[in-house]
Amino acid sequence: MKKCQKTVLITGASSGMGRSTVIALAKQGFVVYAGSRTPDKLFDIQTEFIRPIKLDITDPQNIEESIGFIDEIDILINNAGYGLVSTVEDVTEKEMFDQFNVNVFGILRVCKAVIPKMRKQESGVIINISSFLGKIGLPLFTFYNASKYAVEGITDSLRYELKDFNIRVHSIMPGFFDTNFARDNLVTNSKTFEGDSAYAEMVSTLAPTIVAQINEGNSTEEVSEMILEIIENVNFPARKTAGDKAKKFIPMKKELSDEDFERRVRAYYDL
186 within a domain of the structure (yes/no): yes
**Rounded Cα–Cα distance for residues 77 and 59 (Å):** 18
**Number of CB atoms found within 10 A of residue 45's CB:** 16
User: Residue 73 domain-assigned?
Assistant: yes
Q: Is-above-0.85 flag for pTM?
A: yes
Q: Give me the percent of the chain exceeding a pLDDT of 70.
A: 95
Q: Which residues are catalytic?
A: 14, 130, 144, 148
Q: Would residue 228 count as lying in a domain? A: yes
In a domain, 85, yes or no: yes
Within-domain flag for 2 = no
Sheet of 31-36: strand order equals: 50-54, 31-36, 7-10, 75-78, 124-129, 167-174, 239-242
The predicted-structure confidence for 49-102, as pLDDT tens digits, reads as follows 999 999 999 999 999 999 999 999 999 999 999 999 999 999 999 999 999 999
Residues 6+ away with beta carbon under 8 Å from 20:
220, 221, 223, 224
Q: What's the number of domains the chain is made of?
A: 1
Look up the domain containing 56 and give its range: 7-268
The enclosing domain of 161 has a CATH number of 3.40.50.720
Longest dimension (CA), the chain: 59
Strand partners, 78: 128
> Within a domain: residue 1?
no
Q: What is the pLDDT of residues 2-23, one digit of tens each?
A: 455 899 999 999 988 999 999 9
Q: What is the pLDDT of residues 190-215, one digit of tens each?
A: 999 999 999 999 999 998 888 888 77
